[in-house]
Amino acid sequence: MHNETSTGVMNPLEEIAAVAKKFPDIVVLVDCVSSLSAVRVDMDGLGLDMTLAGVQKAFALPPGIAVCTVSERLFEKSKKIPGRGFYFNFEQLEKYAVRPQTPTTPAMALFCGLHEQLGRMLREGSEARERRHREMAARVQDWVRERFGFFANEKYLSPTITCVRNTRKEKISTDDFRKALRERGLLIANGYGKLKGETFRIGHMGDLTLEDVDTLLRTADEVLGA
Residue 21's pLDDT is 92
Domains of the chain, by residue range, sit at 3-124, 126-224
Question: Which stretches of the chain are assigned E, i.e. beta strand?
Answer: 3-4, 9-10, 29-31, 50-54, 66-70, 149-150, 161-165, 189-190, 199-203
CA dihedral 109, 63, 129, 49 (to 10 degrees): -110
Residue 216's pLDDT is 99
> With contact defined as beta carbons under 8 Å apart, do 162 and 137 qualify?
yes
CA 13 to chain centre: 14
CA 160 to chain centre: 6
Residue 226's pLDDT is 64
CATH domain 126-224 topology: Aspartate Aminotransferase, domain 1 (3.90.1150)
DSSP symbols for 48-84: -SEEEEESSSTT---S--EEEEE-HHHHHHHHT-TT-
Residue 11's pLDDT is 97
What is d(CA 72, CA 77) in angstroms, rounded to the nearest whole number?
8
Low-confidence stretches of the chain (pLDDT beneath 50): none
Taking the CB of residue 63, how many other CB atoms lie within 10 A of it? 10
Intrachain domains 3-124 and 126-224 with the same fold: no
- Express each pLDDT in 84-136 by its tens digit: 888 889 999 999 999 999 999 999 999 999 999 999 999 999 999 999 999 99
Q: Taking the domain 3-124, which CATH number applies?
A: 3.40.640.10
Q: What is the pTM of this model?
A: 0.92
CA 140 to chain centre: 16
Residue 87's pLDDT is 84
